[in-house]
Amino acid sequence: MDRLNARTTIPEGVQAPGYDRSALKPGIVHIGIGAFHRAHQAVYTDDALAQEFGDWGIVGASLRSTGIVQALREQDCLHSVITRDRSGDSARIVGSTVKAIAATEDPEALLSYLSDPAIRIVMLTVSEKAYGLDAQTGGLDITHSAVAHDLSCPREPVGAIGFLTEGLARRHEQGHQPFTVLCCDNLPGNGHIVRRLVLEMATRRDTDLSKWIETEGRFPSSMVDRIVPAATAATRERAAGITGARDELALETEPFTQWVIEDSFVSGRPLWEAGGALLVDAVEPYEKMKLRLLNGSHSLIAYLGQLRGLEYVRDVMADADYQQIVRRHMLAALPTLDPVPGIDLAAYIDQLIARFANPAIAHRTAQIAMDGTQKLPQRIFAPASDALAAGHDADTFAYATALWIGYVLRAEKVDDPRAVELSEAASQTTENGGNLAPFFDLPGLFPPALKTDHAWHHRVRSHLKTIQAE
């Protein structure tokens, strides 16, 4: 079977790019070109170009992997997206990417695009841990390897914040407008966070640069949502059967997709509304809804599944008792939310339950369980603190916390940027979780209200004892 490329004949029934790709010029750099981006922002941009064509081609950049970049190059930057649910499978070929760069091989190529005035937007999906955020100060973590390097060698960056800052510095020196920075990672107030980190790094090298970014730059927040499991050999076989071409970057995903964007851009944007994106004045209510209802429940499911030997999210949701635990968690999170314009929250919860239970989506609990120290503060600990402040017992959040601690205590190796600290905390925890102070005392992890609430600590210990006994 031939490899997917620009000369591939797209079978009837498979959606092809609805525009002339040969006329497409770069206007966006996207840093972090993993499966989620290819199933989300690349698809929205594909739809936008089909509706209103413009110079919005994506230059995809990877700060770590060379494999994805090489595969994109070999496929003329095309990839397939398979949408799966109970009714069957459908496929589309996405063509919004026009070039792929591996920054580890050629960092100057990425910097050249970042300094090019034709690039008007830089998007990011690099995961929470890649930003080098100090959880205690809210600023740069100077012990983070990429941050430390980029502070000492600002002209030769290796990290996300370093590349953004150097790219903006070059534009400032050349008299160009800044690009808009659009963060698409699961950080609360992600635009505000990235702006703060870039300004801090810029201030350390040039106060004039920092003032220019602060005045002229734009860092809109956004909320993204689509379940995209890690691709497998079965994924690629399924894609080949539908598209008639071999695609090393094929992925599968659910029908549901959502993108809420703060409408604040320096010099325009694609017509992402064509793909269903919602452009709003404030993203925070939608963001909190997603973090606390979807992501918080996802983490609970992940650790429950890992402790019960259930490989996929759908396996956990197939158990009626576990599904009820998940629903109870969502209902407990509801009072901690702000009003969300245009969203029926009861219907949203029902929709989440159905999405998690989708038997066609094989989303591994191990994949979601990764990087707990980066995810749980906004998904579990923040709503727990809000619930306690409102006079509630925050019991379901204590249960989710106990599941995570039980997972850490049981795992031979935890995939987490603070794995060494977690291992030390686990080694100091008394038998059967009688003393969990080593976990609660981890710097910058739990908010003050949870660190000092002994009644809530007791709930966590009680749940952990029950979990371990089971």
- How is 215-231 classified by DSSP, letter by letter? HH-----EEEE---PPP
What b/e sequence results for 344-353 when a residue is b if at least 16 CB atoms lie within 10 Å of its CB, and e otherwise?
Answer: ebeebbeebb
Q: What is the pLDDT of residues 247-270, one digit of tens each?
A: 999 999 999 999 999 999 999 999
- In terms of Cα–Cα distance, which of 218, 296, 213, 292 is closest to 261? 218
How many Å apart are CA 79 and CA 71, to the nearest integer? 9
How many Å apart are CA 346 and CA 344, to the nearest integer? 6
Q: Are 277 and 44 in contact (CB under 8 A)?
A: yes
Each domain of the chain, given as residue ranges in start order, spans 21-280, 284-469
What angle separates helix 160-174 from helix 190-205, to the nearest 10 degrees?
60
How many Å apart are CA 339 and CA 98, to the nearest integer? 40
State the average pLDDT for the chain.
96
Q: Which pLDDT value is given to residue 470? A: 85
Q: Are 279 and 273 in contact (CB under 8 A)?
A: yes
Looking at residue 338, what DSSP letter applies? P
Homologous superfamily (CATH) for 21-280: NAD(P)-binding Rossmann-like Domain (3.40.50.720)
Residues of the chain with pLDDT under 70: 430-433
Q: Where are the beta strands (DSSP E) in 192-296?
A: 222-225, 251-253, 258-262, 278-280
Backbone Cα Rg of the chain: 22
Is 1.10.1040.10 the CATH classification of the domain at 284-469? yes
Looking at residue 62, what DSSP letter applies? E
Is pTM beyond 0.85? Reply is yes
How many Å apart are CA 294 and CA 418, to the nearest integer? 24
How many Å apart are CA 387 and CA 358, to the nearest integer? 30
Which secondary structure element, helix H or strand E, spans residue 451, and what is its range?
Answer: helix 448-451
How many Å apart are CA 326 and CA 295, to the nearest integer? 11
- In terms of Cα–Cα distance, which of 372, 459, 403, 441 is closest to 136? 441
Q: Which pLDDT value is given to residue 135? A: 84
Distance of CA 278 to the CA centre of its chain: 18
Q: Which pLDDT value is given to residue 136? A: 86
Q: What is the pLDDT of residues 415-440, one digit of tens each?
A: 999 999 999 999 998 655 678 999 99
Q: What is the pLDDT of residues 103-159, one digit of tens each?
A: 999 999 999 999 999 999 999 999 999 999 998 899 999 999 999 999 999 999 999
Q: Which pLDDT value is given to residue 317? A: 98
Q: Which pLDDT value is given to residue 207? A: 96
